């Protein structure tokens, strides 16, 4: 992930320093540097800025005032020589606060915090359970309890850890595969989907659940073997 950055600071040396830090940080890209908030106010609205390094103490329009005009998507890291502004900085939802003179280590810590924030915000939230129709009822099934799913023409059987009998549902394997997160489940046969973390025994190319042996078909063997190789 690359974060588009901008710098606003009325000190030329501070602008140059922060620009040099951005240039040597692989996941940052400089998309604007401004010597005043007034100047930035004219140009930033036309840009998609992810991370803004913003000085607080500036003439005409200070950083705290300007931060309230910035696009909500933009994360702000305040930079200032005045420590008393730290609390005010967090009141306007700053991601971090850097006290001048700023070392590269301190800068990198703030940049990494921003990267982690954006990675979390763009990662889709993974579901923990699903609802399936069974015997004219909606049944909730926790994903963590699913061992495997077997397809039978128009029906599927969902086998779970806490029930000796599977849940029978009128549903296609394709629909079920699309419903389940691929990070946790794997299709290994036209008639079987398994939960990766539940695989304990593989016997001669077959996955063993208790006394049930599930075949891995030829079309899925390469993907399945690659998964095993990653964990061996």
Of residues 82 and 115, more confidently modeled:
115
Question: Coil, strand, or helix at residue 24?
Answer: coil
* pLDDT tier for residue 21 given thresholds of 50, 70 and 90: very high
> Hey, what domains does the chain have and what are their CATH numbers?
3-122 (3.40.50.2300), 129-230 (2.40.50.1020)
Yes or no: say if 167 and 160 are a contact pair by the CB < 8 Å rule.
Answer: yes
CA distance 18 to 40: 16
pLDDT tens digit sequence for 178-224: 889 888 999 999 999 999 999 999 999 999 999 999 999 999 999 89
Residues 174/175/181/185 CA torsion (nearest 10 deg): -40
* pLDDT tier for residue 97 given thresholds of 50, 70 and 90: confident
Which tokens sit at 189? 């046969």
Residues of the chain above pLDDT 90, percent: 63
* pLDDT tier for residue 52 given thresholds of 50, 70 and 90: very high
CA distance 9 to 20: 14
pLDDT at residue 90 in the model = 55
The mean pLDDT of 169-184, rounded to a whole number, is: 90
The mean pLDDT of 92-98, rounded to a whole number, is: 81
Q: What is the mean pLDDT of the chain?
A: 90
pLDDT at residue 88 in the model = 59
Does 93 score more than 70 pLDDT? no
- Cα 163 to Cα 3, 133, 159, 167, 197: the distances in Å are 47, 17, 7, 9, 18
The mean pLDDT of 152-174, rounded to a whole number, is: 92
* pLDDT tier for residue 103 given thresholds of 50, 70 and 90: very high
Which tokens sit at 116? 């982690």
Yes or no: say if 184 and 215 are a contact pair by the CB < 8 Å rule.
Answer: no
Please state the pTM of the whole predicted model: 0.56
- Cα 22 to Cα 5, 47, 74, 204: the distances in Å are 8, 18, 16, 53
pLDDT tens digit sequence for 66-89: 988 888 889 999 998 877 655 555
pLDDT tens digit sequence for 149-162: 999 988 999 999 98
pLDDT tens digit sequence for 25-50: 999 999 999 999 999 999 998 899 99
């Amino acid at each position: 992930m690359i974060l588009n950055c901008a710098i606003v600071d009325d000190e030329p040396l501070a602008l140059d320093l922060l620009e040099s830090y951005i240039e040597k940080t692989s996941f940052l890209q400089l998309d604007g540097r401004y010597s005043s908030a007034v100047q930035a106010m004219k140009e930033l609205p036309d840009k998609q800025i992810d991370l803004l390094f913003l000085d607080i103490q500036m003439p005409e329009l200070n950083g705290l005032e300007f931060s309230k005009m910035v696009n909500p998507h933009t994360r702000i890291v305040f930079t200032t020589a005045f420590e008393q502004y730290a609390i005010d900085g967090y009141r306007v939802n700053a991601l971090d606060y850097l006290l001048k003179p700023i070392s590269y280590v301190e800068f990198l810590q703030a940049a990494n915090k921003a990267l982690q924030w954006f990675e979390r915000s763009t990662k889709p939230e993974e579901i923990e359970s699903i609802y399936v129709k069974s015997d004219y009822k909606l049944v909730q099934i926790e994903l963590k309890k699913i061992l495997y799913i077997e397809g039978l023409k128009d029906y599927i059987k969902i086998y779970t850890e806490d029930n000796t009998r599977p849940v029978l549902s009128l549903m296609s394997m394709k629909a079920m595969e699309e419903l389940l997160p691929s990070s946790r489940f794997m299709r290994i046969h036209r008639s079987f989907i398994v939960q990766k973390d539940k695989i304990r025994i593989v016997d001669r190319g077959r996955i063993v659940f208790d006394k049930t042996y599930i075949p891995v078909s030829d079309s899925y063997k390469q993907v399945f073997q690659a998964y095993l190789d990653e964990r061996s």
